[in-house]
Structure 1
Amino acid sequence: MEQDVRLLHASSFGAAAASYAEHRPDYAPAAARWALEHAPGPRVLDLGAGTGKLTAALVALGAEVIAVEPDPAMLTELRRAVPTVRALPGNAEAIPLPDASIDAVLAGNALHWFDMSVAGPEIARVLAPGGILAGLWNVMDNRVDWVAGLERVGGSAAIGSRDTFSSWRAATTGLHRPHTGVAARFGSPEQAEFPHGQRRTADSLVATLATRAGLLVMPEQERRATLSRIRAFLASRPETNEGEFTLPMLTGVLRVRQL
């Protein structure tokens, strides 16, 4: 994704902050535990924390969490959702924390928005020796037939990719460029996926998909047409046309350890 397009998508969420907080899924607890498995201590930074979906999961695991989020509207929702957490304005390219003050940096559905040529050295700076950097992505499980159909109808703007490893490679290119000075600081990435699910109705699933960046930046007429196709598809499927159902998901995790 080109820089200007990436910035447009990354900055689109604030306008839908309340809907994002209401409709976006949480993260599989097992995924968060795995991400933190080798962290040298309990101090965790949720970077690009959004409305606090991952923050809440980390608090539930007993981590000492600090959240950093650049968008004021998202930050307001985060503070409302997780009032006990220290939540700071800031971004991955300028993290408002001291050197070596964090044992793990986690990013939930956010790492691909960072400019890793700048964020990579910043993350390395705030991590303690042996610290963990992990990206988590919630994705729909398109191995399920009706989810694959939804993917065909909605397109990538609405559904996104299940290939989290490609997202990781694209997002962390900066970590492996020699000129950043951080290429040797991180080991090889490890990957895992954890089953997850979200209780939805057809209406609430449409509302969830409407918070995706690809739809938020669409021209209004195209956006309405896409959501209309999705509604029609959900109404046509026995799995989704009446009452609540479980949306099959995976939480993918990719982690590296600072050397």
Structure 2
Amino acid sequence: MTTTPHTAARAHSFNAAAAQYAANRPSYPAELMDVVEELTGRPLAGARVADVGAGTGISARVLAARGARVVGVEPGEGMATEFRRALPEVPVVRGDGNRLPFQDACLDLLTYAQSWHWTDPARAVPEAVRVLRPGGALALWWNTTPYDVPWLKAQALRMGRHFGIDVAQEKNHVSRTDLADPTGTLAFTHRTVRWSRRVPVDTHLANIGSHSMFLVDTEERTTAFLTAERAHLLTTFPDGIIEETYDVSLLLARTP
């Protein structure tokens, strides 16, 4: 992506909210790992994997649970600190996808969970090809909002009005292979995996409040939105338990 002062501020905003991020963000379903294994043609058990933009270790935990030999790559100190706290047995190094801290052809799989959009793909794709062994794979995925769930669509539209963004366009962005690889080097396969979790309303609000759009907004505007959003949610979920539904958008490409 093109780096501007605003996007840089959004990228760095997570470090101050790392504990909130770790406590409230959703994980990823086992079915996603099944699809990754299907498309790569090999089990995750024993695979050498680097999880880039590893954050607080949410995706690294899922990969490690499948037996992968994972190392996290994270540019932010606040996020890396939470990663070490959550996964002391998994190494994490400082770095980013535009210049990976690995030797050539050393990895079976390179993963980006909720983080490829913080890279410059024109630089990150050649770096991925460099560090992956022949037959290795680059996997990018995001938890996205399914707009066929009425309450989620309504919430997304409220957020879009608040921030002045086109939420549908933001979602479509993560499944476009031309944006994932503007160099045209890799042939991505796109898959979607739907899953859900049930959480208290406070967890849901803390989850959406941990997104960079909120973190770079003013405290007054963020508080006002989340207070109003609580009222909206309790009309749909009067018991205060929210069923969050996600479509994981996966893009995976194998190296020659």
Q: TM over 0.5: same fold?
A: yes
Q: 8 Å contact 1:68–1:89 — kept in the other structure?
A: yes
Distance 1:176 1:159 in 2: 22
- The equivalent residue for 2:99 is 94
Give the number of aligned pairs. Answer: 249
Pairing 1:29-40 to 2, within 5 Å after superposition: 29-37=30-38, 38=40
Distance 2:248 2:180 in 1: 24
Distance 1:200 1:162 in 2: 27
Shift of 1:161: 5.0
Residue 3 of structure 2 is aligned to residue 3 of structure 1: yes
- The equivalent residue for 2:216 is 217
Residues 2 and 95 (structure 1), Cα distance of their counterparts in 2 relative to 1, 3 Å cut: closer
Distance 1:63 1:23 in 2: 24
Give the stretch that moved more between structures: 104-113 or 35-44.
35-44
1:85 to 81, 90, 101: 90
Distance 2:134 2:3 in 1: 31
Residue 111 of structure 2 is aligned to residue 106 of structure 1: yes
- The equivalent residue for 1:258 is 255
- The equivalent residue for 2:206 is 207
- The equivalent residue for 1:180 is none
Distance 1:229 1:118 in 2: 41
Distance 2:234 2:208 in 1: 16
Q: 8 Å contact 1:17–1:51 — kept in the other structure?
A: yes
| Secondary structure at 1:97 match in 2 | coil
Residue 66 of structure 2 is aligned to residue 51 of structure 1: no
Shift of 1:23: 0.1
- The equivalent residue for 2:154 is 149
Distance 1:43 1:79 in 2: 19
Residues 63 and 165 (structure 1), Cα distance of their counterparts in 2 relative to 1, 3 Å cut: farther
Encode CA deviations 1:209-244: one digit per residue, 9 max, x unaligned. Answer: 10001111112222222212211211222xx22132
Distance 2:254 2:143 in 1: 22
Distance 2:196 2:222 in 1: 25
Q: 8 Å contact 1:153–1:233 — kept in the other structure?
A: no
Shift of 1:164: 5.1
2:181 to 163, 175, 178: 175
Shift of 1:99: 0.8
Shift of 1:254: 0.9
Distance 2:255 2:68 in 1: 19
Residue 24 of structure 2 is aligned to residue 23 of structure 1: yes
Residues 70 and 29 (structure 1), Cα distance of their counterparts in 2 relative to 1, 3 Å cut: same
Q: Alignment identity in percent?
A: 31
Q: Which runs of 5+ in 1 are unaligned?
A: 178-182
Give the stretch that moved more between structures: 54-63 or 153-162.
153-162
